[in-house]
Amino acid sequence: MREGHVFVDSGRYEVNEMYWEVMEHPEAIEGVAKVEALRKIIGKDPDFFDPYIALYEHYLSIGDTESAADILNEGFTRAMALVSKEGKFPDFMPWEALGNRHIIRMIYNFSTLLWLVGRKGEAKELLQKLLKADPEDHIGARFAIAAIDEGYESLYAFEMEFTNREAGVDPEAMEGWYRRRGERYQASVCNQAERRL
């Protein structure tokens, strides 16, 4: 059993079901109706974070960057208050616990927003916390950390390196890039150590 601050959120089944009814609606709810439906879910449970992310993406898609940043910041602030214990981030917050996924997605999305606006140090710090709390890294924090180190300006710029029109992002190509990077940096560290001897 893990020691330290272990966080597992409740299932939030009712609002999760409401969320997917909106997102997978057969008539594809869009625009004002979608915003209202997502805000209604937030009103019912402000600590369920997938609607915040959906609103963030909606606002970005219509060019309303201020509303996008505001809603993501609101969700992130609530997420951190929910998971923190005496101001400390969880030592373990597993993705396998389904109730944690909306929280991990929120923190990841906020870190990529920080990265996009040039606050790379803060973004990397958050990503490292996520990686430490979920070492199996189901969200892909390790790729984002490496991409920041490699000088990519945003998650979008990084993912475009591994994207094609037919299939979208190629996870195998991304994994290969990550492995090559890791080997190259490991070799570099070994060479520096040998030169010191």
pLDDT of residue 183: 65
pLDDT of residue 10: 86
User: What residues does each domain of the chain span?
Assistant: 13-134
Q: The whole model's pTM is what? A: 0.88
pLDDT of residue 161: 92
* DSSP three-state, residue 85: strand
Q: From the first residue on, what is the mean pLDDT of each consecutive set of 10 residues in the chain (197 residues)?
A: 83 93 79 93 98 97 96 98 95 95 98 97 96 94 92 96 87 90 55 41
Cβ neighbours of residue 50 under 8 Å, at least 6 residues apart?
A: 16, 19, 102, 105
User: By the 8 A CB rule, do 178 and 162 touch?
Assistant: no
pLDDT of residue 48: 98
Residue carrying structure tokens 């001897």 = 197
Residue 174: other Cβ atoms inside 10 A: 19
pLDDT of residue 163: 92
User: By the 8 A CB rule, do 91 and 108 touch?
Assistant: no
pLDDT of residue 133: 96
| 13-134: CATH class | mainly alpha
For residue 19, give the nearest of 112, 101, 137 by alpha carbon: 101
Q: Is 132 exposed, middle or buried (0-12, 13-18, 19+ CB in 10 A)?
A: middle
What does DSSP assign to residue 84? Answer: -
Total residues found in the chain within this entry = 197
